[in-house]
């Protein structure tokens, strides 16, 4: 069956016509899917019974509940979903005092091969559909409480840019969820073709995984550097205005003695000079068995604070991101569910 979740208003109007409903019923479908968020055609009370029956015969809504949940001692929740193609993916709900953020996956596993990332050890198992992405947003128990969304789960969002852009459109369109794009951040390792489309086709915030300002050192831990160097990524970002509608930030995992020195701080200063941006410093989260990624260790809190203060003092707003959900393998770079591992 064809899935409705993720279809645009124009496409839903075509769906309505295909089952003998008037074109305006497409807007009603959008409201049921994205505002009222029903999971059964029988609940669409302002659509004729015959129309609902035909819809149920030919289409699926596309909503599926998570199949497992883990709760951290800090309140973070990790959910396991099964994709339309039968792959297993995870998303993370992060509650805070004045906001509630969901971190969604865009691929099953990841093909980017960053050597410090546990998710990368899964390998790549396929693209998620727009419905798979939106289902994570709509089907968690805390969906109604969400204030922010980050595309920072499994996979490289800009390597699945069609589905990502379509999901952002549904979330931000007046006929969809009506969210402000400022509530949404899309992350990338610097996959330039997708980053450029992201910059040109939507107004959400952008986060680039940087992790080292020096090309040779970055290439050693992030293979993407050999294809799309970070200097080219930054040059592309300089072509856009970052002072109003959206924000550019750089994610920087701190590895003790490897990228947290004065030399690296000065490298960041040179690389980002004049760019209106911010840096988020992130503690490296070690593998639970301390073997898979044993060559990497986190910087000390003192060193991260020094780096934050140095960068802030030279005019680059820098913060240290508080780790959440580490005890349930939900923190940055730790999404590696056992069911997907068993299939690998």
How many angstroms separate the CA atoms of 217 and 162, rounded?
31
Residue 332 annotated in active site: yes
Active-site residue, selected from the candidate residues 84, 87, 90, 158: 90
Contact 137, 171 (CB under 8 A): yes
Residue with tokens 């980053």: 195
Contact 254, 260 (CB under 8 A): yes
CA dihedral for 292, 332, 154, 82, sign (positive or negative): positive
What are the CA-CA distances from residue 3 to residues 144, 174, 324 (Å)?
A: 22, 21, 34
Within 13 A of 233's CA, how many CA atoms are on the CB side?
29
Residue 246 phi/psi, 5-degree rounding, is -135, 170
What are the CA-CA distances from residue 187 to residues 135, 149, 266 (Å)?
A: 19, 11, 24
Total count of residues recorded for the chain? 344
Contact 92, 325 (CB under 8 A): yes
The DSSP-derived string for 246-265 is --EEEEEEEBTTTS-SHHHH
- Between CA 259 and CA 271, with CA 265 as vertex, the angle to 5 degrees is 100
Q: Helix H segments across 192-296?
A: 192-201, 215-221, 224-227, 230-237, 262-272
148-151 and 184-188 beta bridge pairing: parallel
Q: Which residues contact 56 (CB under 8 A, 6 or more apart)?
A: 41, 42
What are the CA-CA distances from residue 208 to residues 38, 142, 204 (Å)?
A: 35, 27, 13
Contact 135, 65 (CB under 8 A): no
Residue 57 annotated in active site: no
Active-site residue, selected from the candidate residues 103, 110, 277, 332: 332
| Catalytic machinery residues | 90, 332
């Amino acid at each position: 069956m064809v899935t409705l979740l993720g279809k645009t208003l124009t496409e839903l109007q075509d769906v309505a016509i295909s089952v003998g409903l008037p074109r305006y019923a497409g807007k009603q479908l959008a409201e049921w899917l994205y505002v009222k968020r029903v999971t059964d055609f029988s609940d669409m009370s302002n659509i004729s019974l015959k129309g609902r029956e035909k819809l149920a015969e030919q289409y699926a809504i596309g909503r599926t509940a998570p199949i497992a949940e883990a709760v951290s001692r800090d309140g973070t929740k990790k959910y396991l979903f099964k994709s339309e193609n039968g792959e297993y993916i995870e998303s993370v709900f992060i509650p805070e005092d004045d906001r509630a953020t969901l971190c969604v996956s865009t691929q099953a596993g990841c093909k980017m091969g960053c050597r410090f990332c546990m998710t990368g050890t899964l390998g790549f198992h396929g693209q998620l559909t727009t419905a798979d992405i939106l289902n994570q947003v709509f089907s968690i128990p805390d969906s109604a409480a969400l204030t922010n969304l980050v595309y920072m789960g499994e996979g490289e969002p800009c390597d699945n840019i069609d589905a990502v852009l379509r999901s952002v459109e549904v979330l931000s369109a007046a006929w969809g969820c009506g969210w402000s794009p400022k509530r949404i951040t899309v992350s990338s390792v610097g996959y330039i073709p997708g980053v450029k489309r992201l910059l040109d086709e939507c107004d959400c915030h952008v986060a680039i995984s940087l992790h080292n300002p020096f090309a040779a050192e970055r290439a050693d831990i992030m293979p993407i550097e050999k294809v799309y160097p970070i200097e080219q990524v930054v040059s592309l970002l300089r072509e856009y205005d970052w002072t109003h509608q959206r924000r550019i930030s750089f994610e920087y995992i701190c590895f003790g003695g490897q990228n947290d020195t004065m030399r690296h701080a000065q490298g960041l200063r040179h690389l980002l000079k004049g760019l209106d941006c911010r840096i988020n410093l992130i503690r490296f989260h070690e593998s639970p068995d301390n073997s898979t990624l044993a060559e990497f260790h986190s910087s000390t809190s003192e060193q991260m604070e020094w780096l934050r203060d140095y960068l802030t003092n030279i005019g680059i707003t820098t913060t240290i991101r508080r780790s959440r959900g580490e005890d349930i393998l939900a923190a940055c770079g730790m999404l590696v569910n056992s069911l997907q591992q068993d299939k690998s």
